[in-house]
Amino acid sequence: MNSRRNFILKGSIATTALLAARPLKAIANAASSLSGFSSNNNQVVFLHTAELNEGSTNRAMRFIEMIKDNSPNTILLNAGNKRSASLPFDVSIQPCETSPAYNIEYSIVEKEGIRTGVIKALPGDTDVINNTNRLATFLKKEKDCQVVVCLSQLGYKNNSTPDDESLAASSLHIDLIVSGHMTNFYPRPVVLANKQKQEVIIHASAGTAHACGKVEIGLDKYGVKSKVVLANKLDSGIFENKKVVKAS
């Protein structure tokens, strides 16, 4: 099977990220104006938050329901420490009102036949890279998850402990790192190569009390990633940014 991925990268993406993602070859085909994908069920949409406040809950719910109406394969993730926002999270890195406490090593969410494994990376885990690699490999190889997501509180980059950047570079089988750190995060999507020279996306939705990140992953007939659409810091102007960046 050809290991090269074809991607649509939508939104503002740093040039360094595109250089790191040289194996990727972006394609654009018949796509809906709403999501960037043509209508089919062979895709999964991740909506993720970090620190939504109660005043933003109704607004966030309207946005989430709009996305769910257009894709039955929507998974809502909470990568932040805030527990009070009463949203129907599928997985939360911390306990919250509507999601069970994340006190196990992993969660599996299945939507329309697509299995997504979710793990976490927290500060203080002295062996975080080996632990996440062990779990990601287990989820891909033993649990037949097509996509593995890591909810991270490590921070994007620091000088002393593992961070999102070093986790991505040292990872195996992680497709997406959702960065939930509220102060140490990169404001644009980043694509890096892992130990096997496969792409890992780092995506954050921090910085405001009503930010919601969106990542769409399309799968081919073998269950392998074929397209990705990214929208960062989704806000009132969510559909105003029409820029599409292609990697050659």
Q: In this structure, what is the dihedral angle of CA atoms 180, 101, 98, 202, given to the nearest 10 degrees? A: 20
CA–CA distance, 73 with 107 (Å, rounded to integer): 16
Residue 6's beta-bridge partner residues? 25
Q: In which band, very low, low, confident or very high, does the pLDDT at 231 lie, cut at 50, 70 and 90?
A: confident
Cα 4 → chain centroid: 20
Q: In which band, very low, low, confident or very high, does the pLDDT at 221 lie, cut at 50, 70 and 90?
A: confident
CA–CA distance, 244 with 230 (Å, rounded to integer): 10
Domains of the chain: 6-28+41-234 (3.60.21.10)
Mean pLDDT calculated for residue range 19-34:
31
Mean pLDDT value across the chain: 74
Identity of the highest mean pLDDT range in 81-95, 126-140, 194-208: 126-140
Residue 191 — φ and ψ, nearest 5°? -120, 120
Predicted confidence (pLDDT) per residue in 154-174, tens digit: 999 988 889 999 999 999 999
Radius of gyration of the chain (CA): 16
- Going by C-alpha positions, the residue among 45, 49, 47 that lies closest to residue 35 is 45
pLDDT at 33 over 60: no
Predicted confidence (pLDDT) per residue in 46-76, tens digit: 999 887 766 677 777 787 888 888 888 999 9
Alpha helices in 71-225 (DSSP H): 128-141, 164-169
pLDDT at 186 over 90: no
pLDDT at 242 over 50: no
What beta strand segments (E) does 72-113 contain?
74-78, 91-92, 107-111
The pLDDT of residue 105: 86
pLDDT at 106 over 60: yes
Q: In which band, very low, low, confident or very high, does the pLDDT at 41 lie, cut at 50, 70 and 90?
A: low
pLDDT at 8 over 50: no
Predicted confidence (pLDDT) per residue in 116-153, tens digit: 999 999 988 889 999 999 999 999 999 999 999 999 99
Q: How far is CA 64 from CA 45, 105, 122, 206, 226, in A?
A: 11, 27, 26, 17, 24
Identity of the highest mean pLDDT range in 82-91, 93-102, 104-113, 229-238: 104-113
The pLDDT of residue 176: 97
